Structure formats: C-alpha cells, structure tokens
C-alpha cells in the first residue's frame, strides 16, 4: 500500500486520525480541507469510508508499546482509548470552530451536510484506528491485505464488537454489499446525525461536538475491550 499524499483525501484523514497534538486552528483547517475535498465528490459517505479505511495508519504492538513507555494489556488499551477520546473531542471542537469562523474554505462549500460528513469521516477514522489497535493489543488482528483487514475492522466498528477469532470477520465484499454494508451505512447515519450538533451557532457547536465525540469514542473503546477480553 502506497502512503497517501498529505493533501489528498486519505492523507488529510490520516493526519486528523493521528494522536499527535494539533492546535485548534490547524485541526479546523484540516476539517475544512476535508470538507472541500468531499464537496467535490458525489459519492455517498459509506463509499468514501470504505475507500479511505485501508489508508488509516495502524500501529503494531511493538510500536504501540514503544509509543506508550512499555505499557501492555489493559493499561495500554486504556491509554489508547484516552488518546482517541481526546482526538475525536478535538475534532468535534474543530468542527464547531469551523462553523463559527468559516475558515479554510469558501462558505458555499462549507454547507452543513458537507461539514457534518467531513467531521464524521474524520471521527470514524480515529475510531477505526482505535478498534484496529485494540485488536493488536489483545492478539486478535485479522490476516490479509490492508483492504481485507480494513473491511474486518469496519465491521467491528459498525457492530461495536471484536472480530471473531474463528471466522475472522467479514471479507471486503461483505462490507461493499449485503447486510454488512447496510449495517455500516446505518451506523454512519446515526453517527452523522449526532455530529449535527457541531453546526450550532457560535461556540456552542464546538462545546457540544467535543462532548458528544468524547462520550461516543470512550463508549466504543470500552465495548471493544470488553469483547476482546
């Protein structure tokens, strides 16, 4: 898999999914850039998520331990959940800031539906990264190409369950069509509906978006850890 370009859609998503600290204006600019990129497409959100998912950078267990000072097991899992919660909260706040100051893109491109879709994509990428890395911690990672592994993780994200160690989860075609695709689409619709709070006027959207994302991401992480144990 070739690394995404820093300024294309997978590249911007990867930068937003990284847990390295970003200042609010930079993060809001990235969400705005993502909105511009998505505004130029006519594809559904579920199709964009499926296409971007294999490009979300996932760290293996040795790298995770190195990045978290040798933590293992539940302690490492809790650290990942805390980091992901912080990042999705920051994305929610950035979405609210973007609504307030209309930065990083022409106002006509930053319509509410496009902004909500962009924020939802960014949040899903962070949560998908969290789901994948929790599987690394507990030795439950699926095998296969990046696309097949991403498909399995998307299924785990949509169901809020760990990947079955026997069946390995759905293959790529299971996400693109059939019941797994419908399940993913329904989960995305619910997630996008919650993210509408970020387009509230003034800074209320930033506060509401941050709080909602933090709550949802922590809940997801805890559900996955409980299942993987």
Asked if residues 150 and 73 have their Cβ atoms less than 8 Å apart, the reply is no
Structural domain contains residue 109 = yes
pLDDT score of 41? 80
Structural domain contains residue 98 = yes
For the chain, how many structural domains are there in total? 1
pTM, entire model: 0.87
pLDDT score of 2? 47
Helix axes 112-137 and 9-17, enclosed angle (nearest 10)? 60
Structural domain contains residue 190 = yes
* Phi, then psi, of 200 in degrees rounded to 5: -65, 155
Show the domain range for 26: 9-228
Structural domain contains residue 2 = no
Structural domain contains residue 4 = no
Query: Considering just the CA atoms, what is the radius of gyration of the chain in Å?
Result: 17
Residue 161 burial class via C-beta count within 10 angstroms: exposed 0-12, middle 13-18, buried 19 and up: middle
Structural domain contains residue 1 = no
> Could you tell me the end-to-end alpha-carbon distance of the chain, in angstroms, rounded to an integer?
31
pLDDT score of 202? 46
Cα angle at 6 between 10 and 128, to 5 degrees? 35
pLDDT score of 28? 86
pLDDT tens digits for the chain (229 residues)? 445 557 899 999 999 999 888 888 889 889 888 988 988 887 899 999 999 999 999 999 999 999 999 999 999 999 999 999 999 999 888 876 666 554 444 444 457 788 888 889 999 999 999 999 999 999 999 988 888 899 999 999 999 999 976 665 554 444 555 777 888 889 988 887 766 655 445 445 556 667 888 999 999 999 999 999 8
How crowded is residue 10: how many other Cβ atoms within 10 Å of its Cβ?
A: 21
Structural domain contains residue 174 = yes
Structural domain contains residue 46 = yes
């Amino acid at each position: 898999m070739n690394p995404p370009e820093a300024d294309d859609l997978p590249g911007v998503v990867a930068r937003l999914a990284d847990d390295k600290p970003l200042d609010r204006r930079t993060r809001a600019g990235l969400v705005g850039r993502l909105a511009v990129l998505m505004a130029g497409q006519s594809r559904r959100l579920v199709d964009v998520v499926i296409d971007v998912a294999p490009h979300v950078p996932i760290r293996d267990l040795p790298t995770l331990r190195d990045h978290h000072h040798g933590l293992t097991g539940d302690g490492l899992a809790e650290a990942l959940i805390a980091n992901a919660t912080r990042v999705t909260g920051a994305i929610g706040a950035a979405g609210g800031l973007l609504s307030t100051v209309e930065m990083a893109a022409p106002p006509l491109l930053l319509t509410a539906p496009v902004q909500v879709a962009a924020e939802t994509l960014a949040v899903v990428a962070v949560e998908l990264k969290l789901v994948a890395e929790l599987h690394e911690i507990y030795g439950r990672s699926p095998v296969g190409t990046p696309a097949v592994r991403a498909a399995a993780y998307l299924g785990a994200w949509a169901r809020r369950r760990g990947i079955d160690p026997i069946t390995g989860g759905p293959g790529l075609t299971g996400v693109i069509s059939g019941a797994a695709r419908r399940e993913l689409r329904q989960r995305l619709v619910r997630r996008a509906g919650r993210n509408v709070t970020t387009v509230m006027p003034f800074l209320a959207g930033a506060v509401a978006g941050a709080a909602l994302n933090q709550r949802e991401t922590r809940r997801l992480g805890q559900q996955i850890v409980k299942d993987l144990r």
